[in-house]
Structure formats: structure tokens, C-alpha cells
Amino acid sequence: MWRPASLFAVVLLAYLPSVRMGWIYDDHVVILAQAPHRSLGEFAHIFAERHFPNLPYYRPITRSTLLLQKFWHGDQPAYFHFGNAILMGLAALLAYSLLRLPAFRVHPNVALFGAALFALHPVASSCVYPISSGRESLMPALWTLLAVYAFLRSGRFWQLLAWVGFVGALFSKEQAVVVPGLFVLADALKLSEAPADRRWPQWIGRYLPAVLILLAYFVVRHSLFGGAQYQFGSFSGPLYSFLYAIQTFFIPTLQLVYEPPLQVWLSPAKLGMALALFAALCFMAFRAGDTVRPAFWFWSGWFALTLLPTANLLRQEAGCDERYLFLPSLGIVGILSAVTTWRWEVQTEIRWVKWAAVTVLALCAFVTLHRASYFKDDFAFSWQWLRTDPRSFNAHYNLGLALAREGKAEGAMAQYSEALKITPDHAQARNNLGSALFEIGRVEEAVLQFSEALRIDAGYADAHFNLGNALARQGRTEEATIHFQRAVRLAPSKANFRNNLGNALAAAGRVDEAVGHFKEAVQLQPDYAEAYNNLGVALVSQGKLYEAIGQFNEALRHQSNYGDAQRNREIVLLELEKQERGKRE
């Protein structure tokens, strides 16, 4: 037991410094922008929702873990980082358990080294340090490891657990669709403990659960995304993806190189060295003979199959990234473990093998610990991304978002402008550039950017809302009302959209309609002080002074220092006092 315990402890301690890190990149959309779920019904509804607003991602189990932590811990990143560190420790334990199965004939000490290398290799760091994108790689990896381990065992319990693991992996991330292929590969190589003399009906029954699970999964996906969710990539995409995987695993970079395009990651010298190392490893596996060869074919298949979904057969948001290599890397680790066990049996070479293993593991752990500095916060992350790839749209855009959140509008404008030079027809970047311009008072330019965003995407609710605000600032109330109405139709659950529509209607003299929208706003967001105040003002114009006092009180209950509500309340109270005095006279 000392090996698994020490493995988990080392991995957890290696990643424990991550609790000092903050939120970066996708965390703001996937976690911070989400309302905390507080009931079983709300969590169940996750299984009928997209994972990301504008991408065909369906990852309800992964999303459930993040929102459950948000329910428990609020918006405190340390707990999320600690959760990722624990998950990586569990992944290391499952990798160790898988390597130790009798079918692979791996020495316990070699399995310990292999599992540690799997968890501490620099590619693994991209599955721990960023909270949301890391979790999206860790969760399916954990379920996949569990599923394959269980499938290689005999008995009904283990077979049931294998299919549970497949369901967990598939509903954690789309790439787990290849897990049944790993099952078939294990059976074909006679590595599983299942009887090899089964007849065809028995084999069909063995894999029938995969068909039913996949059918249910694709029905749900189709209901969410329709039939236009897949676009084929280039024929060269898979080749470059496999070369990137080999180069990155064997010769990882000291600095973070996030989502690199071909011209950034491809190094003929590094690739040549990596291919030579990989070829030497394969040669040694074949030289070892039948004791290693079945494991070699299985782990080679593992590497190919688990990498295939992210190998650009289908067009994806990012062509390459280290997090895609985490689960496939176990394939190379498995081959290395099998060959190392073979060499371990040559007594004269044990000391050499031990020192080589310790050196490799120490170097990988050092790089992994060094990488932590690049994930400290959005600024460190984005600047590093730009240093390695100045032509990255996402890096400029993400830095613009980070600057905007800090109130640095001019810096944000500069980054959005750079991003738009790279991708001019990006509606969100246009909208955000418009917001930055609006914030510093350049309203006319903001109107142009919001209008351009709507030219690119006429159904972009935020751009309609922001254009409405800009037009209202210019006194163009009728035009502003039209865009607020469109924003409300597109996103009826946003309280601020209804509040601002109410303001525009009230300014146009359509007070009765305005009151309706203010009431909707406070129903959608019961602590919305501004909407209560605006509702009170509208009620005053209707002569409903006592009702207005109630709304001003609500505004002050939710925001005690709300000056407008205090003044409006005092004015109405004076008016009521004046009316009472007039009645007495």
C-alpha cells in the first residue's frame, strides 16, 4: 500500500501551490458567469444544456462538478484548484492500478514511476492549473481509466463498472466516444480476463451496451446542436496532431506554449529528436519479444485512439494544445513501462534504469512546477500566450477582457483592436470594443462598433442591449427602444435588459409598459436595487405614491447607500406630507 499512498501524496503536494492561483480564461464564462445551482432540479437541468454558449460542447458531468463546487464554496478559486489537484492524484492512482494489471506484466516500482510520470509530466499541468479547461480534461480521463481498468477485469460487477465508467467519460467530454474502441482492442489482443472462446452472439451482447449508450448520447446532442455541429478538417490535420504529440511528450518546453499553431510549435530539430526517441522505444519493445509485444500494441492503440478525437479530423476551436495529450500520453508511458520492466530484469542494468527514471521524473516535475507561474492570473496567462504567439486572436481578446474587468478601458480597447486586425468579423470583439469606447465617452464610435457586431450577428442580444444604451445616451430614444426590445426577445431572462427597456419606454411617455418591464426585472432579480428605484419613479408618475414608497424602501433594503432611492423617497414623503396637510386645511 505504500506505493499508491506515496504516489497520491507526491502528486497532491506537487500541485498544492496552485491554490494560490486565480481565475483565467474560460473560468469567467463556465464558472463565474453562472448562477449557483441550489436544487436537484437545477443540477438535473445541466444535462439538457450546452456546456459553452457558442460552441457545440456537451459536458454535463464536468459542468456539474464545477457548479456543485460553486454552490459549496462560492467564487473562491482556491477550492477549485484544490479539487483539480485531488483529481490528478486520483488519476495517478488509476493509472498505477491499470499498469499493474497482470496482462501488462509491469514491475510495481516501474508502475509507480510510470503513474508519477503520467501525472507530473508538463502536459498534465495544463489539466490542473486552469480550473475549467483542466477539469474538462481530468474528468473524462478519470472515467476512462476506471472504465478500461474495470473492463480488463472479469465478473459482472467489473463489466457493469466498465460501462458506468464509459457513461461517465462520455458525459464528461465528447472525446470519450473512443472508449469502446479501447475495449475492442483489449479483447482482440486477449488482454482482458473475458473468455476468448465466445461465439458471435456473446460478443454482440458484450458490446451492446456501447451501442445503446452512444445512441442515447447522440440523440441528446442532436436535440441541443442539430445536425450542423461537425465540420471536417484538413487531411494534414491528424498527421500534424500526432507529430505535435510526440514532439511535446518527449521534448516539452520549459515555458507554457498555449494552443500553439503549426508555425509556433513545429521545430524540425526537436521533432527529429523526439521521433528518434520514439522509434528507439518501439525498437526496444519489439526486441523484447512476446512478453512486451501485446502491451506495446495495446498502448500504441491507446495513444492513437485517445488522441484521434482531438487530431483535427473534425474542425475544432484549438488545433493543438497540451491538455489534449494528457490521456494519450499514458500510451507512451505504458510502452515505456513495459520496456523498462524488461530491462529491469537484466540485473546489471537496474541501477542505470533507476537513475534514468529518477532524472526524467525530476526534470518533468521541475518544468511542471515552473509552469505554475504562467497560470497565476489572467494577465500572466495572456501575456505569456502573446509572447509565444503574438498573432493569437484569443490571447489579445482574453487580455482585453482582463483589462476591462480591471476598469482599464483604454488598454482593453488596444487589445480588442489588435484582435480585430487578426479576425475582423468577430461579433463579441466588436461588441466589447464598443463597450470600452462607450465607457470613456466616445459614444459615436461605440455606436459604430455595436452596429458592426450586429451586422456580423443579428441575433447577438448583448450587442442590441449595448447599442440601445449608446443610442439612449445620444437622445435617440425611439431607436434605443427598438434595440432594447430585440434584446429582451432574444434573452428574456436578463433583468438588466428589461430594466433598461423600461427606462426607454418611460422616457418616451409609455409609462404603463415601463412599469410592466420594471416588475419583470425585479422578479427575475429580486435584489436589483436600480430596478426597484426605477419602478418607484414610474409609479410616482402614475400618481401611485404609496406604492412608490414601497419600491424605494425595497431598493434601500438591497442597497442601503443608494443615493437616488433615498432622495426619491424623501421627495415622495414630502409630497405625501404636503397632501395630508392640504387635506387637514
The answer to whether residues 488 and 498 touch, using CB atoms and an 8 Å cutoff, is yes
Q: Fill in the amino acid letter for 203.
A: W
- Main-chain dihedrals φ then ψ at residue 312, nearest 5 degrees: 65, 25
Specify the range with the lowest mean pLDDT, choosing from 21-25, 241-245, 354-358, 502-506. 354-358
Specify the range with the lowest mean pLDDT, choosing from 51-55, 290-294, 379-383, 488-492. 51-55
Mean pLDDT of 11-30: 95
Rounded Cα gap, residues 286 and 282, in angstroms: 6
Look up the CATH superfamily of 391-475: Tetratricopeptide repeat domain (1.25.40.10)
Residue the block writes with cell 530484469? 345
**In the chain, what percentage of residues exceed pLDDT 90?**
77
- How do residues 282-320 score in pLDDT, each as one tens digit? 999 988 888 888 999 999 999 999 999 998 887 777 889
Specify the range with the lowest mean pLDDT, choosing from 231-240, 256-265, 273-282. 231-240
DSSP for 467-497, please give it: HHHHHHHTT-HHHHHHHHHHHHHH-TT-HHH
The answer to whether residues 487 and 466 touch, using CB atoms and an 8 Å cutoff, is no
Among candidate residues 210, 171, 207, 209, the one with its CA nearest the CA of residue 192: 207
- How is residue 37 annotated by DSSP? P
- How do residues 62-115 score in pLDDT, each as one tens digit? 999 999 999 999 999 999 999 999 999 999 999 999 999 999 989 999 999 999
Average pLDDT, the chain: 92
- Per-residue model confidence (pLDDT) at position 300: 97
Residue 58 has pLDDT above 70, yes or no: yes
Mean pLDDT of 422-449: 96
- Per-residue model confidence (pLDDT) at position 206: 86
Residues 6+ apart with CB under 8 A from 522: 495, 528, 531, 532, 535, 554
List the chain domain ranges. Answer: 2-375, 391-475
- Per-residue model confidence (pLDDT) at position 291: 81
Identify the band that residue 239 occupies on the pLDDT scale cut at 50, 70 and 90. very high
Residue 233 has pLDDT above 80, yes or no: no
pTM, rounded to two decimals = 0.89
Q: Is 10 left (phi over 0), alpha (psi -120 to 50) or beta?
A: alpha
- Per-residue model confidence (pLDDT) at position 5: 95
Rounded Cα gap, residues 446 and 358, in angstroms: 58
**In the chain, what percentage of residues exceed pLDDT 70?**
96
Distance in Å from the first CA to the final CA of the chain? 92
